[in-house]
Amino acid sequence: MLSLLLSAVLAVQAMAVLELNVPEQPVVALHSSDVVLNCSFNHTNPFNLSDLSVFWQLTDTQRSVHRYLEGHDQLADQAERFANRTRLFPNQLGLGNASLLLSRVVVADEGSYTCFVRVKDFGSAALLLQVAAPYSKPVVTLEPQSNLRPGDEVALTCVSYGGYPEGDVIWQDAGGRNLTENITTSVVANEEGLFTVTSVITVVLEPNSTYSCRLINPILGEEGYISVTVTGQNIAFPPVALWVTVGLAVCLLVLLIALAAVCRRKIKESCEEAKREAEEAKVLEEEEESKTGMISLKS
Ligand SMILES: *[C@@H]1O[C@H](CO)[C@@H](O)[C@H](O)[C@H]1NC(C)=O
Ligand SMILES: *[C@@H]1O[C@H](CO)[C@@H](O)[C@H](O)[C@H]1NC(C)=O
Ligand SMILES: *[C@@H]1O[C@H](CO)[C@@H](O)[C@H](O)[C@H]1NC(C)=O
Ligand SMILES: *[C@@H]1O[C@H](CO)[C@@H](O)[C@H](O)[C@H]1NC(C)=O
Ligand SMILES: *[C@@H]1O[C@H](CO)[C@@H](O)[C@H](O)[C@H]1NC(C)=O
Ligand SMILES: *[C@@H]1O[C@H](CO)[C@@H](O)[C@H](O)[C@H]1NC(C)=O
Ligand SMILES: *[C@@H]1O[C@H](CO)[C@@H](O)[C@H](O)[C@H]1NC(C)=O
Ligand SMILES: *[C@@H]1O[C@H](CO)[C@@H](O)[C@H](O)[C@H]1NC(C)=O
């Protein structure tokens, strides 16, 4: 496919008088970043910019990506999805640089672009744009999650998302050997064209097993790696967690009861104290009264 395209491009170049220089290898652009699509031409004699035409278009559909004619951008017939995302470098045009800046690259931008240049002579060349997006770090979950015992069949699910192009998942054991049995991998694209890769491996649990999930992006290389070890300790973990929870609950209950008892005693004490104080006050009052009585008797 690529060689066919290149030979077609070479044929066009051979016929044209003006030689253009574009990258031979696909240009890799990260999703949502900006990219420069290089296209330069040899200008042996100084030329007037109003004599220069630059057309960038999609090779397959010939839809316009960007046009420059008679000293100005001509964007009336530009494909809508490129609106506000393209520009040439005006002060570079006179130096033979007709490169295009494409902003906020999306997956749909991937493909072949043709650069046409005319300064009296005419030439064209095509290049490939390859979009790439890094995957998230893979995450592994176990099913079932609890009460695991050696001999149980367990499904490990490794998920990674937001990447492009389609990633490959490799499962390996503790010794780094590729596991190939009982694996199902599915790839789903979101509305932006970015992929979620989900890979499930079914294994028969051993007392001490390590499984690692590696995610390979065909453009960006290995991107993520996660390793899970299902050990005897892990298998014992759920009961331990249960006992810890029960223990904590019991502690809390005992604490509450003790607190209630202390409170009740305090309340009782303070009630009795109040009662005692009231009685003492009454006694004092009575004494006062008897004193007054005595005084009145004397007078
Ligand atoms: C540009 O011109 C120079 C000198 O004439 C030549 O060596 C070079 O190959 C040319 N490059 C292109 C892309 O036409
Ligand atoms: C574009 O051209 C410049 C200058 O020649 C070079 O440094 C850069 O790597 C090129 N970019 C691509 C994607 O080929
Ligand atoms: C460039 O072309 C324009 C229009 O044809 C003309 O008015 C102008 O004088 C030219 N400039 C030069 C430097 O030749
Ligand atoms: C492009 O920019 C203009 C002016 O800022 C705006 O009116 C227009 O809606 C934009 N078009 C797109 C497709 O974003
Ligand atoms: C063309 O100009 C742009 C902007 O200065 C630059 O990034 C690019 O590398 C240039 N390309 C070539 C082939 O010189
Ligand atoms: C595991 O598989 C991958 C891809 O299928 C391969 O690149 C790698 O060399 C293999 N590794 C081993 C140890 O077999
Ligand atoms: C694959 O699954 C089958 C049954 O589900 C099981 O008997 C076999 O041992 C598994 N193979 C591996 C390598 O775990
Ligand atoms: C599990 O693996 C750890 C470390 O790799 C090792 O120390 C331990 O002895 C192993 N336990 C069993 C039961 O194999």
pLDDT tens, residue order, the chain (299 aa): 555 555 555 555 444 478 999 999 999 999 999 999 999 998 777 888 999 999 999 999 999 999 999 999 999 999 999 999 999 999 999 999 999 999 999 999 999 999 999 998 899 999 999 999 999 999 999 988 777 788 888 999 999 999 999 999 999 998 899 999 999 999 999 999 999 999 999 998 888 889 999 999 999 998 899 999 876 544 444 445 555 565 677 657 777 778 777 767 876 777 677 667 666 656 555 554 444 444 443 33
Ligand nearest to the CA of 229: 8
Does 158 lie in the same domain as 187?
yes
Q: Note the pTM of the prediction, 2 decimals.
A: 0.72
Tell me: do 8 and 128 sit in the same domain. Answer: yes
In the reported structure, the alpha carbon of residue 40 is separated from the centroid of ligand 7 by a whole-number distance in angstroms of 58
State the distance from the centre of ligand 5 to the C-alpha of 128, rounded, in angstroms. 17
The confidence score (pLDDT) of residue 230 equals 78
Q: Clarify whether residues 55 and 144 are in a common domain.
A: no
Q: Which residue has a Cα nearest atom 10 of ligand 1?
A: 42
Please tell me what DSSP assigns to residue 78.
Answer: B
Give the CA count within 13 Å in the CB-facing half-sphere of 126.
Answer: 21
**Residues 187 and 73 placed together within one structural domain of the fold:** no
Q: Are residues 104 and 125 in the same domain?
A: yes
Return d(Cα 81, Cα 65) in angstroms, integer. Answer: 9
Q: Mark whether 110 and 184 lie in a shared domain.
A: no
- Reference 201, options 190, 189, 193, 209; nearest CA is 209
- How far apart CA 33 and CA 234 sit, in angstroms, is 43
Tell me if 160 sits within 8 A of 150, measured CB to CB.
no
Of 221, 186, 222, 195, nearest in space to 31 by CA:
195
Domain end position, chosen among 98, 132, 166? 132
Q: How many domains does the chain have?
A: 3
- Pocket around ligand 1: residues whose beta carbon is below 6 Å from it? 19, 21, 42
CB of 133 closer than 8 Å to CB of 163: yes
Q: Using most ligand atoms within 8 A of CB, pick from 24, 37, 38 the residue to mutate for ligand 2.
A: 38
Ligand nearest to the CA of 86: 4
Q: Is residue 113 part of a domain?
A: yes
Ligand 7 contact via 242 beta carbon (within 6 Å): no
Residue 250's domain comprises: 238-284
Is 74 found in the same domain as 125?
yes
pLDDT at residue 261, rounded to an integer: 79
> Which residue, of 99, 115, 132, is where some domain finishes?
132
Alpha carbons 207 and 175: distance in angstroms, whole number: 16
CATH of the domain at 174: 2.60.40.10
Whether residue 210 is contained in a domain is answered as yes
Q: Are residues 197 and 248 in the same domain?
A: no
pLDDT the model gives residue 286:
54
Ligand 8, atom 9, lies closest to the CA of 208
